């Protein structure tokens, strides 16, 4: 069917959804609008998918607008169905429609229209049902806008085979544009200055930051290519978030944390192609399952806001008088706090849900269970990098570092000689909770693939419980553009050091940026760690940093091999 202004306006009022209730509905033909933030889709199901855009109204406009969306099974939309809805200032002119009555396992194309203005064309895909021979997923995390260009998203947009993009969090960052702010050395050089220029705290702040990120053309291209399946990590609210606070939240100057969290989550639901929280449920309950036919189940878990207990940091390691009166680290007390069984990430309710979903997936015959999880799960103790090179070489490397970075590196060298975990914000800071999760895997009779983000590094890990039994294989994706720990370390081979001193770590790359590309068939998984050659310029090259083969065998996962 032809999509013209007359046919669209004739359908207003007969739509399937409404995004606003403001009574001042105006004629779309009377308003000069744009679609500055592209289009997106997400949360696919066999018969539906979320479609999203944001209408950019003229400055000072504050009425409600009618919006039409066409969705069809051909790129020219010749067979499109048109649905109508409204949007307005109460939801920042974002538009979200759960498009239903779709066929499973099919590509669809969609486009929004207000008056004569049309959005870019988007492509999406529903979940398959029944026999499914192949699944292609791109896995991303950590996209600091001032940190660099989103070349990884440009590469994802060009993939020939792609069922969905799995985003594991840190979609936005909360920091401002002040001197010394996170990533701003690069941001100023590239002209990528945070909007607003201060740290975001209010609803208006979070909305403007989401708008800036979705103005990026590479991110828009990836969103227009395939549906996203997303969870948040910490920076969607503030750094190192837990249930009732965050490392980067100061109540004395930034107000009540719950108010800040509520503003962040409202903006997230407005600006992301994700289904709204079900009536009667908390907005924090973002955990949900996606079944890809008879091949795989993807369970997205929430590890920040539903149950995470107060964080533990390396700064909590206290010093006590030694036998000769000299201060020594009280490692025993520190480890006792770390091993406290009350320390939690998922919570009992989410574990019960996950046990049910894993058991159901296995009982329904799917060979693959995938955990979309935010933070690295493997046991990773901090490396003593002083053992990796002669003292003179290490001193030369340290001498080349900025004074502040050198002081931090020297303190970590001393700290990691004590055999403490590398990252306490990851599962390593919650070992009892990790054992409860591994027990759940055992009870459900599954060995899943665990996906992880957050760390700004590539990881390939084999996960074992305290008894030494392999419980899962983990693939961690590096950042799209956020700084990695090794970026400032000169010649210190941090990734190599981590893989050398940790039995669970098969591979770690602390320098590359990019994404994980995973292809599943009924009998094996092929996983490529895809790196972009630069995030500071275009053009760029894309190539695999490493490739791995993981067979599916009776009773669990087979031997992981590099290919």
Cα dist from 532 to 153, 258, 528, whole Å:
10, 38, 13
Write out pLDDT tens, residues 9-50: 332 233 333 333 333 445 656 689 999 999 999 999 999 999
What pLDDT is stored for residue 29 in this prediction?
A: 62
**Is pLDDT above 60 for 286?**
yes
In the chain, what are the helix, strand and coil shares in percent, each to the nearest 5?
25, 25, 45
Mean pLDDT calculated for residue range 60-86: 96
* Residue 431 and residue 437 in contact, taking contact as beta carbons nearer than 8 Å: no
Q: How confident is the model at residue 413 (pLDDT cuts 50, 70, 90)?
A: confident
d(CA 236, CA 232): 6
Mean pLDDT calculated for residue range 109-129: 97
> Could you tell me which residues come within 8 angstroms of residue 31 by beta carbon, excluding any fewer than 6 positions away?
57, 58, 61, 65, 114, 115
Q: How confident is the model at residue 555 (pLDDT cuts 50, 70, 90)?
A: confident
**Is pLDDT above 50 for 103?**
yes
Out of 3.20.20.450, 2.60.120.10, 2.60.40.380, 3.30.70.260, which CATH number does the structure's domain 1-127 have?
2.60.40.380
> 501-515: b or e for each residue (b if 16 or more CB lie within 10 Å)?
bbebbbbbbbbbbbb
In percent, the amount of the chain with pLDDT more than 70 equals 94
Write out pLDDT tens, residues 433-492: 999 999 999 999 999 999 999 999 999 999 999 999 999 999 999 999 999 877 777 777
d(CA 501, CA 156): 33
Cα dist from 348 to 282, 309, 354, 439, 477, whole Å:
15, 13, 10, 13, 27
Q: How confident is the model at residue 391 (pLDDT cuts 50, 70, 90)?
A: confident
Mean pLDDT calculated for residue range 55-68: 95
Q: Which two tokens stand for residue 486?
A: 């090794």
What pLDDT is stored for residue 481 in this prediction?
A: 98
Query: Backbone phi, then psi, for 392, in 5-degree steps?
Result: -65, -40
What pLDDT is stored for residue 28 in this prediction?
A: 59
What pLDDT is stored for residue 411 in this prediction?
A: 83
Q: Which two tokens stand for residue 443?
A: 């009870």
* Residue 210 and residue 195 in contact, taking contact as beta carbons nearer than 8 Å: no
Q: Tell me if the pTM is above 0.75.
A: yes
- Exposed (0-12), middle (13-18) or buried (19+): which is 303, by Cβ within 10 Å? buried
d(CA 515, CA 225): 16
What pLDDT is stored for residue 20 in this prediction?
A: 36
Write out pLDDT tens, residues 187-228: 999 999 999 999 999 999 999 999 999 999 999 999 999 999
What pLDDT is stored for residue 27 in this prediction?
A: 62
Write out pLDDT tens, residues 130-154: 999 999 999 999 999 999 999 999 9
What pLDDT is stored for residue 412 in this prediction?
A: 82
555 vs 301 pLDDT, higher one:
301
To the nearest whole number, what is the mean pLDDT of the chain? 92
> What are the helix (H) ranges across 364-390?
none
What pLDDT is stored for residue 30 in this prediction?
A: 66
What would you report as the CA-atom Rg of the chain, rounded to the nearest whole angstrom?
24
- 431-444 vs 348-363: helix axis angle to the nearest 10? 30
Mean pLDDT calculated for residue range 301-329: 92
Helix (H, G, I), strand (E, B) or coil at 468: coil
- DSSP H or E segment with residue 208: helix 203-213
Q: Which two tokens stand for residue 318?
A: 């206290």
**Is pLDDT above 70 for 331?**
yes
Write out pLDDT tens, residues 336-385: 999 999 999 999 999 999 999 999 999 999 999 999 999 999 999 999 87
Q: Which two tokens stand for residue 131?
A: 């026999």
Q: How confident is the model at residue 390 (pLDDT cuts 50, 70, 90)?
A: confident
111 vs 6 pLDDT, higher one:
111
* Residue 293 and residue 133 in contact, taking contact as beta carbons nearer than 8 Å: no
């Amino acid at each position: 069917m032809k999509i013209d202004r007359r046919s669209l306006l004739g359908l207003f009022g007969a739509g399937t959804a409404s995004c606003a209730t403001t009574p001042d509905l105006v004629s779309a033909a009377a308003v000069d609008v744009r679609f500055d933030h592209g289009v997106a889709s997400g949360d696919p199901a066999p018969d539906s998918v979320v479609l999203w855009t944001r209408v950019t109204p003229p400055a000072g406009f504050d009425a409600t607008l009618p919006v039409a969306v066409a969705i069809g099974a051909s790129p020219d939309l010749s067979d499109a169905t048109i649905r109508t809805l409204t949007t307005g200032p109460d939801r920042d002119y974002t538009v979200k429609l759960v498009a239903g009555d779709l066929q499973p396992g099919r590509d669809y194309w969609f486009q929004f229209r207000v008056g004569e203005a049309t959005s870019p064309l988007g492509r999406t895909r529903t979940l398959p049902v029944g026999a499914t021979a192949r699944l292609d997923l791109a896995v991303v995390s950590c996209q600091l806008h001032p940190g660099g260009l989103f070349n990884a998203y440009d590469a994802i947009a060009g993939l020939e085979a792609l069922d969905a993009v799995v985003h594991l969090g840190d979609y936005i960052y909360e920091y401002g544009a002040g001197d010394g702010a996170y990533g701003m050395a690069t941001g100023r050089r590239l002209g990528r200055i945070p909007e607003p220029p201060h740290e975001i705290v209010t609803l208006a702040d979070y909305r403007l930051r989401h708008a800036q990120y979705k103005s990026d053309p590479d991110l828009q291209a990836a969103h227009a290519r395939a549906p996203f399946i997303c969870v948040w990590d910490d920076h969607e609210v503030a750094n190192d978030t837990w249930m009732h606070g965050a490392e980067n939240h100061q109540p004395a100057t930034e107000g009540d944390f719950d108010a800040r969290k509520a503003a962040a989550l409202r903006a997230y639901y407005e600006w992301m192609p994700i289904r709204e929280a079900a009536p009667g449920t908390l907005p924090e309950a973002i955990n949900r399952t996606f079944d890809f036919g008879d091949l795989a189940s993807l369970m997205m878990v929430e590890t920040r806001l539903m149950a995470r207990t107060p964080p533990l940091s390396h700064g909590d390691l206290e010093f006590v008088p030694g036998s000769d009166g000299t201060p020594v680290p009280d490692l025993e007390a520190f480890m006792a706090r770390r091993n406290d069984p009350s320390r939690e990430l998922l919570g009992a309710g989410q574990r019960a849900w996950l046990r049910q979903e894993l058991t159901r997936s296995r009982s329904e015959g799917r060979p693959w269970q995938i955990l979309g999880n935010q933070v690295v799960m493997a046991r990773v103790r901090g490396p003593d990098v002083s053992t990796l090179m002669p003292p003179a070489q290490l001193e030369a490397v340290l001498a080349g570092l900025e004074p502040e970075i050198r002081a931090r590196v020297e303190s970590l060298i001393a700290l990691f000689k004590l055999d403490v975990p590398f990252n306490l914000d990851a599962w390593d800071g919650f070992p009892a909770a990790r054992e409860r999760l591994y027990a759940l895997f055992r009870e459900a009779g599954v060995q899943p693939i665990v996906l992880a983000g957050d760390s700004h590094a590539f990881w390939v890990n084999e996960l074992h419980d305290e008894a030494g039994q392999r419980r899962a294989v983990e693939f961690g994706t590096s950042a799209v553009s956020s700084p990695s720990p090794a970026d400032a370390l000169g010649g210190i081979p941090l990734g190599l050091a981590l893989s050398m001193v940790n039995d669970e770590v098969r591979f770690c790359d602390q320098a590359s940026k990019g994404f994980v590309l995973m292809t599943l068939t009924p009998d094996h998984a092929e996983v490529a760690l895809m790196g972009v050659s630069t995030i500071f310029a275009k053009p760029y090259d894309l190539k695999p940093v490493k490739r791995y083969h993981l067979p599916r065998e009776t009773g669990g996962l087979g031997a992981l091999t590099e290919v």
